[in-house]
Amino acid sequence: MLLSTGPKDCSGTTPWAAVVLERSGLFWHARGEWLGTELSNSSMADARGQPETKDLKIALGARGTSDDGPTIELQLSGSGEIGDYPVNLEGTIEAIDCPTD
């Protein structure tokens, strides 16, 4: 799962973006021009040993189509921290549903 403030297609590269959030398994990563470095929650845990991003949620919604290919509606919610940066997800977006290899 990759969320970006810049344009994205299904190619293997991510174009310039102010902020890019990517979830891989249970872990979130943040990078982009505003951050200057890549950050990850993979080594940070709260008092119970849970990742500090455990409350970030992405719920899958309706599937559709667009000129860029298949899409899926994503409902974003929750908050947490990646590095020293607070992250808050709220709202609904239509995302490109890229095939996985």
Are 18 and 3 a contacting pair, CB within 8 Å? no
Instruction: Name the token pair of 43.
Output: 């080594």
Of 4 and 50, the one with more pLDDT: 4
Q: What is the pLDDT of residue 63?
A: 92
- Amino acid (one-letter) located at 54: K
User: What pLDDT was estimated at residue 69?
Assistant: 82
Phi-psi map region of 35: left, alpha, beta (phi>0 left; psi -120 to 50 alpha): alpha
Total-model pTM = 0.68
- Of the candidates 85, 92, 82, which has an alpha carbon nearest to the alpha carbon of residue 44? 82
- Count Cα neighbours of 6 within 13 Å in the Cβ-side half-sphere: 14
Average pLDDT over residues 41-55: 61
Cα–Cα nearest to 64, from 91, 99, 94: 94
Domain ranges for the chain: 2-96
